[in-house]
Amino acid sequence: MAGKMNFEKSMARLEEIVALLERGDAPLESSLALFEEGTALIRSCGAFLDEAEQKVVKLMKGEDGKPVELPFDAAE
């Protein structure tokens, strides 16, 4: 649950950054700092989404076709 909260906070901050950059009134140095922060948030959110996607895929891989919850590191 904590991961989801961090993801949601990261997405909210990313939306703020996009809005600030779209306005175009920040000094260049501030814009670069915002861009770097946004890039880091995108990587973080992407990793969270990749992990969530892997979990969903693992849940769908029961031998009998029924959903089975498997740990991420389970052998295929």
Q: What is the per-residue pLDDT for 71?
A: 62
Instruction: Decide if 6 is inside a domain.
Output: yes
Q: What is the per-residue pLDDT for 61?
A: 63
Q: Following CA atoms 36, 37, 41, 47 in sequence, which dihedral angle do they give, to the nearest 10 degrees?
A: 50
Q: If you average pLDDT over residues 45-73, what whole number do you get?
A: 75
Instruction: Decide if 34 is inside a domain.
Output: yes
Instruction: Decide if 49 is inside a domain.
Output: yes
Instruction: Decide if 32 is inside a domain.
Output: yes
Q: What is the per-residue pLDDT for 72?
A: 60
Q: What is the per-residue pLDDT for 70?
A: 66
Instruction: Decide if 28 is inside a domain.
Output: yes
Q: Please give the residue range of the domain that contains residue 54.
A: 2-59
Which of 5, 72, 17 is CA-nearest to residue 42?
A: 17
Confidence of residue 67 (pLDDT cuts 50, 70, 90): confident
Number of folded domains in the chain? 1
